[in-house]
Structure 1
Amino acid sequence: MMKKKFVLFALTLLLTATSQNAVWAGEILERIRQTGVITAGTRKDATPFAYINEKGEWVGYSIDILEIIRQNVEKELGKPIRLKLVEVTPQNRFNKVKNKEIDIECASSTFTWERDKIIDFSVSYFASGTKIMRKKGSSLGTIDSLAGRRIGVIPNTTNEQAIKIQQPAAIIVPIKNRIEGLEKLKKGEIEAIAGDGIVLQALQLENNNGDRFEVVPEFPYVYEAYACMIPEDESAWRGMVNYSLVKFMEGIISDQPQQVEMYEKWFGEETGVTPYSREAINDYFQGIVDGYEWIPLISY
């Protein structure tokens, strides 16, 4: 009898240890648990997703998304977790994620199958697409109209890929960032800037160029899904990130005040930095949330 009790006790310890190891499985999540820090890559020039405001503060929709993830990780791990922001660029962000220099990247990165070969993506938390910003009165707009015209594009972006594929006859002019692109557009060195429509709209608004420039066409040349990027084969970490994002999107769909207030701060029709239809984003979020178990509202 005594021997049976000992065996049962030993099995219980083994199962408990196995269960705990499963919970903390994965290098990234274990590192976060040990250090109390999430190292997150983001941008300083991608209004309204991630940028530096007039007070020198790092702000944006994607920054708030990272904070939501931090809060959820802190709750799940049962200890204080700090968010450490690191600037990344379109050129270095993939290697930083791939090499695990950062635990996650959230700014305005879009999913592609080619990128998915070297890194993993979270569920999408926004949708936009490639458009152009042109001078008012310009004939540029349709994809056909870009043939033979000088279009400024940041290299190694999906916007560059979209223009090259949709209109191979366009003359691609590399730009370091959107601010440089705007200066080149003002000087006539390029005829348009290609980029994510929502980001180009923010660039237009924050530089008070509504009378000189406009973002076209109405519908993007190519639609794109924004998502966070994380290192490959980190399923426990990706699961925690996805849980945080799906929970947030459920809050938008079900009109939870905290989540709606956050969204409206950046995209509200009257108060947002760059207006974006709640009806459109609700439909988009609903399509994503439908693929997951609904998180009870009591969890908010």
Structure 2
Amino acid sequence: MSIPRPSLLSRGAPRWLAGAAAAAVCWLACLGAAVAQDTGELSGTLRKAKDTGSLIIGYRESSLPFSYLNQARRPIGYSIDVCTAIVQAAAAEVGRDLAIQWVPVTSENRFDAVTSGKVDLECGSTTRNAERLKMVAFSPVIFIAGTKLMVPRGSAIKTFRDLKGKTVVATAGTTNADALEKLSTRFALNLKVIRARDHADAFEVLRHGGADAYAGDDVLLYGFLAKSGAGKQFDVTRDFLSYDPYGIMLRKDDPQFAAVVDRAVRDLITTGELERLYRQWFLSRLPTGERLNIPMSAQLEDILSSTPQQPD
């Protein structure tokens, strides 16, 4: 609608009429702004979701128990359940049911998959840190992990200082590989770092003697031991090499969708649903038969207990 300017209305008109016209224009402008706000015009990912009727989730194939494949080759896991809740929240926001399109991603291509629009959410075991926040956005923290070493049972490697001159495998594109490089430089360890395509590949390198140790997030290392039945062949060292808070990854500069993601995860936390999901995936027997028995860390307990509910 085209609104006439007060200066045009006031030409040759009585002063009271010009004032009334100006007031009318102001009222119409305010009304237009209110209508625009009430209609809540969608943008970004939510606009695309409403138009297409779907959201695209990037999943990992071997990040047990966060995001991995069951016997039917269907993505399941703790992060997958969190993302499913986000999709439901997005569906309520756009006013229609949303289907999920599943796209596999790896440690190396997950960031490009998000920034390029190939996926809308990356639901795996991705560390949220300041460097990554420069290119992507994250949900509130859903898990706390840390880099540890898996070594053959009986190995002399007990701490990172025992790695001098050794070969260590890590998954390409992870904070674990970065932590190794930094430790090698800082302490002159002269490490040879092998960067495997994915977590399962890294484990196989260690398993077949291609490396002296495998550096990975502690929970994933315990997951591989449970899944492979190799608990008597390998040990996980006690010391952390890094601290890694996990989040669900999404695109930057999409405030509407970011608000939905934030609200959905906060609702899971404040209603106790995230704690229930933790028990399901880390303490109970998994759908694929494994049992991890990993108690919730004190750091994650603190985060969950101190998370305020998102105001309506």
Coarse TM-score class (shorter-chain normalised): 0.7 to 0.9
Q: Could you say which residue in structure 2 is the equivalent of 1:65? A: 82
Q: Could you say which residue in structure 2 is the equivalent of 1:241? A: 261
Query: Does the 8 Å CA contact 2:46/2:94 hold for their aligned counterparts?
Result: no
Query: Does the 8 Å CA contact 2:106/2:197 hold for their aligned counterparts?
Result: no
Instruction: Count the aligned residue pairs.
Output: 285
CA distance in 1, matches of 2:74, 2:172: 27
CA distance in 1, matches of 2:152, 2:41: 53
Q: Does 1:152 align with 2:169?
A: yes
Structure 1: any 5+ residue segments left out of the alignment?
253-257
CA pair 77-98 structure 1, distance change in 2 beyond 3 A: same
2:237 maps to amino acid: V
Q: 1:266 aligns with which of 258, 262, 281?
A: 281
Please provide the CA RMSD for this pair.
2.5
TM-score by length of 2: 0.83
Q: 2:206 aligns with which of 166, 185, 188?
A: 185
Q: Could you say which residue in structure 2 is the equivalent of 1:230? A: 250
Q: Could you say which residue in structure 2 is the equivalent of 1:202? A: 223
CA distance in 1, matches of 2:285, 2:276: 10
1:176 maps to amino acid: R
Aligned with 2:271: secondary structure? helix
CA distance in 1, matches of 2:302, 2:250: 26
Structure 1, residues 30-81: CA drift from partner, whole Å, max 9, x if none? 1112222111112111111111112222101111011110111222322111
Q: Who wins on radius of gyration, i.e. which is larger?
A: 2
Q: Does 1:107 align with 2:124?
A: yes
Q: Could you say which residue in structure 2 is the equivalent of 1:255? A: none
Once structures 1 and 2 are overlaid, which stretch shifts more, 50-59 or 193-202? 50-59
Structure 2: any 5+ residue segments left out of the alignment?
1-16
Aligned with 2:216: secondary structure? strand
CA pair 195-211 structure 1, distance change in 2 beyond 3 A: same
Q: 2:36 aligns with which of 11, 14, 18?
A: 18
CA distance in 1, matches of 2:309, 2:75: 33
Query: Does the 8 Å CA contact 1:264/1:271 hold for their aligned counterparts?
Result: no
Query: Does the 8 Å CA contact 2:172/2:198 hold for their aligned counterparts?
Result: no
Q: Does 1:91 align with 2:108?
A: yes
Q: Does 1:220 align with 2:235?
A: no
CA distance in 2, matches of 1:212, 1:199: 16
Structure 1, residues 113-161: CA drift from partner, whole Å, max 9, x if none? 2222222222211110111111111121212112211111112211000
Structure 1, residues 77-112: CA drift from partner, whole Å, max 9, x if none? 221111212111111111121122221212111123
Once structures 1 and 2 are overlaid, which stretch shifts more, 234-243 or 182-191? 182-191
